[in-house]
Amino acid sequence: MKNFSDNHTLFIKKIKRETRIVWAFRILLLVGLLSIWELFARLNIIDPFISSSPTKMATTLVELFKENNMLYHVLITLYETILGFIIAVGFGFIIALLLWWSTRLRKILEPYIVVLNSLPKIALGPIIIVWCGSGSKAIIFMAVLIGIIVAIITMLNGFLSTDKDKILLLESMGASQLQIMLKLVIPGNIPTFISMLKISVGMAWIGSIMGEYLVSKAGLGYLIVYGSQVFKLDLVMATTLILCILATLMYALVSLLEKKLVKH
């Protein structure tokens, strides 16, 4: 261990203090909002029938897991989201590589990608349902459709902005295009890949929940729609909360992967 001066100790103390303050306010904000919500609901300042309340949400959550098979709905949605995510990311990566590889292919497909990117994918919902039926298949298809275009565009931009001088260096060594791809373009774009994963996590959730809104017999999106139709706002809020937690967890997993992969 190096011996630091008192100034350094002071400096570290300051940083630690700042972190503590930030965390304290974060928690305070959450607790404050929840208490105001609870208080207003109890005092009937806001209608608890429409707005639910934190304690009611909590009891609903417990009940849901105990009696109503919440875990089943969670797993269904997780299955659809993760599968949609993996397919979108996998194919997005491969298609982006192909487009990097062949300039001609890229030029040919460019207008189609632009159109697909600007098209609101939800508009294709009815067609997808007709094609894929009303099960998980349609929902996964939706998740893939929403995710894949962004995945392709993000990856392709990364591939195309590979340092020209580094390509030149490899070419001067007599490298083939395959070698340039394997030694430079792919390893050099791991940070791009991670940011693509982060965007795709969000996209996959949008896709699966949208899909479930349109057509489903189970899943979190289904519970939310069902809850709003029968005016069980406790159910809607509790399910939304679970959704928040799951999406955050998935994002955190990607961040963890980033720490493992991106070091230099």
Partner 1 sequence: MKKLLELKNVRLTYQTINDEIEAVKDLSFSCNEGDFVSIIGPSGCGKTTVLSLIAGLLKPTSGEILIDEKPVEPSLSVGYMLQKDQLFPWRTIEKNVYLPLEIKKINTTENREYALDLLKKYNLLPFLKNYPDQLSGGMRQRAALIRTLVSKPRLLLLDEPFSALDYQTRISVCDDVYNIIKSERKTTVLVTHDISEAISMSDIIIVLTARPAEIKSIHVPNLEFDSPLKRRESKEFGVLFEKLWKELN
Stretch of residues binding partner 1 (CB under 8 A), selected from 29-37, 131-139, 144-152, 164-172: 164-172
- Scan residues 187-206 and list those touching partner 1 (CB under 8 A): 187-188, 190
Minimum distance from CB of 251 to partner 1 (Å)? 24
Which of 171, 248, 249, 253 is close enough to bind partner 1 by CB under 8 A? 171
Distance (Å, whole) CA 87 – CA 142: 11
Residues 158, 189: contact at Cβ < 8 Å? Answer: yes
Distances (CA, A) of 178 to 36, 106, 161, 262: 61, 17, 17, 23
**Is the Cβ–Cβ distance between 205 and 83 less than 8 Å?**
no
- 137 contributes a contact to partner 1 by CB under 8 A: no
Closest approach, Cβ 252 to partner 1, in A, equals 24
By CB under 8 A, the count of residues binding partner 1 is: 19
Tell whether residue 259 is a contact of partner 1 (CB under 8 A): no
Out of 78, 82, 175, 254, the only residue in the binding site for partner 1 (CB under 8 A) is 175
| Length reported for the chain | 264
Cite the DSSP H helix spans in the chain. Answer: 6-42, 48-51, 54-66, 70-101, 103-118, 125-132, 136-160, 164-172, 177-180, 186-188, 190-214, 220-229, 233-261
Residue 107 in the binding site for partner 1 (CB under 8 A): no
Give min distance, CB of 170 to partner 1, in A: 6
135 binds partner 1 (CB under 8 A): no
Q: Which is nearer to partner 1, 137 or 183 (CB)?
A: 183
Nearest to 159 by CA among 87, 85, 92, 253: 92
Q: Can you give the binding site for partner 1, defined by CB under 8 A? A: 163, 165-166, 168-175, 179, 183-184, 187-188, 190, 263-264
